Amino acid sequence: GDFLVDAMPRGADLVTLVRIVHDQSDAGALKLFRAIRAVLPPKGALVIAEPTLMMLAPLVITLTAACVV
């Protein structure tokens, strides 16, 4: 499916994104993070694995914080 269009499956307490975020626009990444946040339980977690994660760290922190609000 298309994770930017289709509904996220429910029931997981951990979601992993491997080499996904770096290909998204800021708006696409935020949409994805919000969709994941909506289906995760309160103690659920999101793991992001990116080859360039250190370069994206400020963006990821900003987007994650925006999802919580």
pLDDT at 36: 92
Mean pLDDT in residue range 24-41: 90
* pLDDT(60) > 70: no
Q: What is the distance between the alpha carbons of residues 41 and 5, in angstroms, rounded to a whole number?
A: 21
Average pLDDT, the chain: 78
3-class secondary structure per residue, 3-64: CCCCCCCCCCCEEEEECCHHHCCHHHHHHHHHHHHHHCCCCCEEEEECCCHHHHHHHHHHHH
* pLDDT(47) > 60: yes
* pLDDT(41) > 80: yes
